[in-house]
Chains A and B, each alone.
Chain A
Amino acid sequence: MIRIQNLSRNFGNLKAVDNISFDIKDTEILGFLGPNGAGKTTTLRMLVGYLQPSGGSIELDGKSIFADPLAASSQIGYLPEQNPLYDDMSVSEALAYFGALRSMSKAVFKARKEFVVANCGLAEVLNQRIGTLSKGYRQRVGLAQAILHDPRILILDEPTSGLDPNQIMEIRDLIRTLGKEKMLILSSHIMQEVQALCDRVVIINKGKIIVDDQKENLGNYLENSEVLHLEVEGEGIEFGAFAEQYAGLELQSEAVDERHCILKLKQPKGMDLRQDVSRYINEKGWLILEMRVEKQSLEQIFHRLTGEDNSVHFTAPQTDENIEEQQ
């Protein structure tokens, strides 16, 4: 297991990682979440020994990874954020190169190559130059490189970025399979991904850990209210009187044009207003064009906890929801 204690890293005056501590158990899939610039990549770079910490320690099975970096790095498979690869080499050559640098024997390399080629879907591009590959294939090559030596610990920095929904599905399946027998640390700013894959979630913001909990417990961090979205058509739409009947109900309305109105009713958790609302609208003779209760997800927890920042880039939610439905 990996034990991180009081880990810090400064860049000049900027505290990129500020005194964080957490453990990662064997065969655990840890989701490492945070907005861009939160310190995810810096932490992962320290974990793989690429960056020296300014303070604190990282211990692998009780030994500092900086005591014997070569031994530590031979147990780690790493997919860096930008997924750097040698564009001039073919996929096959690159795998052979990494295999050789990892001192793999011919027989072992052959078996592992077969495994990664089959599992990362690289068979048809094996002799193609990496520079000519699409982003999805590049990502798979990066992942193949990371798992080539069958590492005990797998550190993936945003592994599914730039992939199409089908590829994301495949890579997630692969990650899930790998996670059964490996310690896996997955950094992401895509909430659904973490929700779909991880056992435990660490959310980091501005270099500090703000949540470290099992995925199931994350519900506790939810806001104590839900939002009912309404789109109504009709003459003289007015919900003020309706809202006053309920304690704790907040109303936000926005008229699209004379006959259309979009409303947001923020209701305390547990209150279900749908029936009352539809009856009320019925009485007034209006029409409901849309009514839905916004489900609270990890995404909102994330939003709420990491607060005001607008640096968060979310992938198109529809796409990811579709993926979840397919699953």
Chain B
Amino acid sequence: MSFINYSSREINCKIVFYGPGLCGKTTNLQWIYKKTNPDSKGKMISLATETERTLFFDFLPLALGEIRGFKTRFHLYTVPGQVFYDASRKLILKGVDGVVFVADSQIERMEANIESVENLRINLAEQGYDLDKVPYVIQYNKRDLPNVVPLEEMRRALNPRGVPDYEACATDGTGVFDTLKAIAKLVIMELKKGQEGG
């Protein structure tokens, strides 16, 4: 749920990058961090192991325009992807406003993608969210690799509802900002809907 700070006139939204281990969630955030105007971003925080794998989460505050005089500040998080880290994933999903599912396009990780989407749905549901109602986009990452699953097959397996989806190669930035813009747009639309309703 977005956090509104009336004194500083800021709306803070939380976007979580979800996906199986080593699918490129941190790489997405690193690219966004690298390519964002220094005035618009906070420092990227990454709690990683000595082998550079995300231990707890990555965190990146990002300013993206205004809504009715309130600055919107997006807090981007990643989750640890390995199956072992479920408790941390649940914790990081607390208060989420939008989710980006980063899928690993490699054939050998398709099962991990499917498991991860199912895990996302379950973990959201435990907190009263419905994946079909939360702002949600999908990114098919690592499209530059030779052993990738065809796009249509990935869509069938991971995106039956037809949410916005993007092909990406996070290491060179392809598709990274398209994905971010899409989720930011959905979150802002949801915020505006909330304002109009209330």
Pair from one complex: no
